[in-house]
Structure formats: C-alpha cells, structure tokens
Amino acid sequence: MPGFALEPDQLEWCGELRVLAGARLRPLADKGEPGRVNRPLVEALGEHGLLARLFGSGALDLCLMRESLAYACTEAETALALQGLGAHPVAAYGSAAQRERWMPAVTAGRAVAAFALSEPDAGSDAAALGLNAAQDNGGWRLTGEKCWISNAPEADFYTVFARTTPGAGARGVTAFLVPADRPGLSGAALDMLSPHAIGRLDFDGVPVSADDVLGDVDGGFGVAMNTLNLFRPSVGAFAVGMAQAALDATVAHAAERTAFGGPLKDLQAVSHKLADMATRTQAARLLVYAAACAYDRRDAGIARGSAMAKLLATETAQYVVDTAVQLHGARALQRGHLLEHLYREVRAPRIYEGASEVQRTIIAKELYR
C-alpha cells in the first residue's frame, strides 16, 4: 500500500469533530441508559450532518469520522457506525422504494438500523448461517435466531441474512430488509461487558417478499462481505481513536505523576513503553487510512487490506489501552475513569465484524491468490 498523509482541511475537520464529540455529543451520551439505543444521540448525529456524510462519501471519510468521534465519545462513534453498518446494504443494494422509505429517516437519525448476520452457531463463519427462509406463496418465511446483533431489539429495521437455498453454503444466502414490526419477529437485550445495545432476535415464520430482498436472491453473501470490506478498516479507525485517547492520557499522566524522585516520564521503563505505544498507534493509523483509500479507489486486494487494517489496529489498541492502564495504576481501574471505560470498550472490536483469527485467515488466503 502507498504511503499516506492527511490534507490540512482533513486535519482541521477531524479537530472539529473531536470538539463536537466532546462538547455536544458527550453530554447526550452521558444521559443515555446503558444497554439501550440512545435515540437523542442518534438524532444529534443526523442534525449535525454526520449521518448524511456517512452515506455520501467514501471509506476514508468514514474512518476519519470514526477515529475522531472515538477519541472523545465512543458512544457517538458506535451510534454512527451502527447506522452505517445496518443501512449501507439498503443504500448500496436496495430498490428505489426501499431507499426512499428508509434512507431519509436513517440520515436524519429518526430511524435506527441494524445489521443482523451473526447467529449462535454462525458468527465468524458467515457462510454457515442457518436462519431458514422457506418459500411461501411467492415469498418466504424466516425461522430461526440471530444473536449479538447491535441495536437489537430496539432498531426500526434490520438487514437480515437468511438461507434461501439449503446446502449451498455462501451461494445460498439472501439479504432481506425486515421492518421491526413484522409479525413473528421478537427479541431480547443481552447483558454484555461493555453496555451497548446488543440483543437476540427470534424469527417465528416472519413473512418477507421479493420487495424485501436487498440485491439478488442467493446473492446475500456478497452484500454482507462488501459491507464488511467497507467497515473493517473503519473498525480499525475506531480502535485507533481509542488508542490515541489512551496514549494522550498516559503522556500527560507520566509528565505529572512523580515517583522515585522525579516524573514517571524520566524512567526509561516508562518512556520506552510510551514510545512503543505511539509508534504502534501511528502504524495502525497509516494502515487504516491506506486500506480506506484503496477501497475508495477500488484497488485490487481490498479484502486483504481491510483485514490487515482491522487486525493491526484492534490488536494495537488492546495493547495501548492495557499498557496505559498499567502505567496509570489503580486509579485507572476506578469506575468512571477514562481508561476504565476504554478498557471495556476496546475488547469487543477484536471479535466483531470478523475476529482477529478470521482476519489472519483472510490475509493468508489472499497471499496465495
């Protein structure tokens, strides 16, 4: 991948987003109920034009938004990303009627979207999903379960991936747009380590028709993978934003905190860790930006670049946040401390949208193409 540097106007925009996230979005996030969709926060993202920009620009803009918001307000970042993930298949593959019905409400923050791919026995192995779509009067009936679905069960609609051709693996999956009020659709919230809105969905003969298909029948695996190829580098951007926040907090702490006769930063053991944290964060950032630019240019090797970016950035963020906690000591473990928050937030990105092991498998396979 080529080298990369942001333009001055992009750097200025990122700074503005950080200020917006800290001054306007952070207070809304603080008022939200843990484990529930924060609709005022989603609406604020729409009011400030971020959701419209999310769907009107490319992967690099998405990465810049996610990194900048994550630095000051991870909840705002997550709300933005989930709107994008859930509604991108509608924007990219939906019919004119589907787009007209849902996209204005999504970009305004009035309708909450969700991406329903994972199942209890088909998380990382998306081709093995088993939500059954049985033919019924020219349409289908969906029966089965989805699990670990962000924004479930409170979303207004779901991009749902179901098996329309048994035994066909990846070639037998179809993507459907399923409004939340369809008969037979129910769900429940899950209590997770980091209290996001995540839940289970139960499908008891939920009716869908040809008008609900996103893309082509049996073409849903491509819808899922193309969506993930776009969003995987931006998961890395989310991770880089958290890593930078942890790094900046630790640099300030090491300059202020005294121990053994001087500031922590003068201890070689500490200064070398700070150097490693900074170097790894910058390396991850550059790989994320390069992968995003490659996606926007439609270069060859997008799947490999996206996987590399997500893998390096999420693993780096885990290291940086963990090291930051160690250098802060017990204060970082107190409820309400920035690093206590980041320590819980940073773990999940190494799993969702393809665990680190899946990213390594993608990269290894691409090496032999």
Asked whether the beta carbons of 156 and 197 are under 8 A apart, the reply is: no
Closest CA to 311 of 270, 263, 355: 355
pLDDT of residue 193: 86
Does residue 93 fall inside a structural domain?
yes
Q: Could you tell me if 190 and 130 lie in one domain?
A: yes
In a shared domain, residues 238 and 194:
no
Contact present, 363 and 304 (Cβ < 8 Å)? yes
Residue 222 · residue 207 · CB < 8 Å: no
Q: How far apart are CA 204 and CA 186, in angstroms?
A: 8
In a domain, 3, yes or no: no
Looking up residue 233, the CATH number of its domain turns out to be 1.20.140.10
pLDDT at res. 179: 98
My answer on whether 247 and 309 are in the same domain is: yes
- Residues 232 and 198 sit within 8 Å (Cβ to Cβ): no
Clarify whether residues 165 and 264 are in a common domain. Answer: no
Phi, psi at 77, each rounded to 5°: -60, -50
- Block residue for tokens 């490319």: 58
**What's the confidence (pLDDT) of residue 17?**
97
Helix segments in the chain, DSSP class H = 8-20, 26-31, 39-47, 50-56, 59-72, 74-93, 96-108, 220-256, 268-297, 302-328, 338-345, 356-367
Which of 108, 133, 154 represents a domain boundary (last residue)? 108
Number of domains in the chain: 3
What is the full per-residue pLDDT of the chain (369 aa) written as tens digits? 345 678 899 999 999 999 999 999 999 999 999 999 999 999 999 999 999 999 988 999 999 999 999 999 999 999 999 999 999 999 999 999 999 999 999 999 999 999 999 999 887 676 788 899 999 999 999 999 999 999 999 999 999 999 999 999 889 999 999 999 999 999 999 998 877 899 999 999 999 999 999 999 999 999 999 998 899 999 999 999 999 999 999 999 999 998 888 999 999 999 999 999 999 999 999 999 999 999 999 999 999 999 999 999 999 999 999 999 999 999 999 999 999 999 999 999 999 988 999 999 999 999 998
Say yes or no: 293 and 164 in one domain.
no
Residue 131 shares a structural domain with residue 166 = yes
2: in domain: no
- 36, 124: one domain: no
pLDDT at 124: 66
Pick from 218, 236, 253: which residue ends a domain?
Answer: 218
**If we measure between CA atoms, which residue out of 360, 326, 113, 87 comes closest to residue 227?**
87
The angle that helices 59-72 and 220-256 make with each other, rounded to 10 degrees, is 40
Grouping H, G, I as helix, E, B as strand and the rest as coil, residue 199 is strand
Burial of 355 (0-12, 13-18, 19+ CB in 10 A): middle
- 351 plus 247 within the same structural domain: yes
pLDDT, tens only, 80-100 = 999 999 999 999 999 999 999
pLDDT (tens digit per residue) in 279-337: 999 999 999 999 999 999 999 999 999 999 999 999 999 999 999 999 999 999 999 99
pLDDT of residue 135: 95
Chosen domain end from 162, 196, 218: 218
The answer on 119 and 86 residing in a single domain is no
Cα separation, 14 vs 351, whole angstroms? 27
Structural domain span for residue 132: 113-218
Query: 85, 231 in Cβ contact below 8 A?
Result: yes
Average pLDDT over all residues of the chain: 94
Query: Which of 7, 16, 353, 357 does the annotation list as catalytic?
Result: 353
Are 306 and 214 found together in one domain? no
Is the domain of 170 the same as that of 151? yes
Residues 194 and 263 in one domain: no
Lookup: tokens for 349:
């990105």
Looking up residue 196, the CATH number of its domain turns out to be 2.40.110.10
User: Please, are residues 143 and 203 in contact by the beta-carbon 8 Å criterion?
Assistant: yes
CATH number of residue 80's parent domain? 1.10.540.10
Q: Confirm whether 61 is domain-assigned.
A: yes
16 tagged catalytic: no
pTM recorded for the entire structure:
0.94
Q: What is the DSSP string of 23-87?
A: IIIHHHHHHSPTTS--HHHHHHHHHTTHHHHHHHS-HHHHHHHHHHHHHH-HHHHHHHHHHHHHH
Q: What per-residue confidence (pLDDT) applies to 259?
A: 87
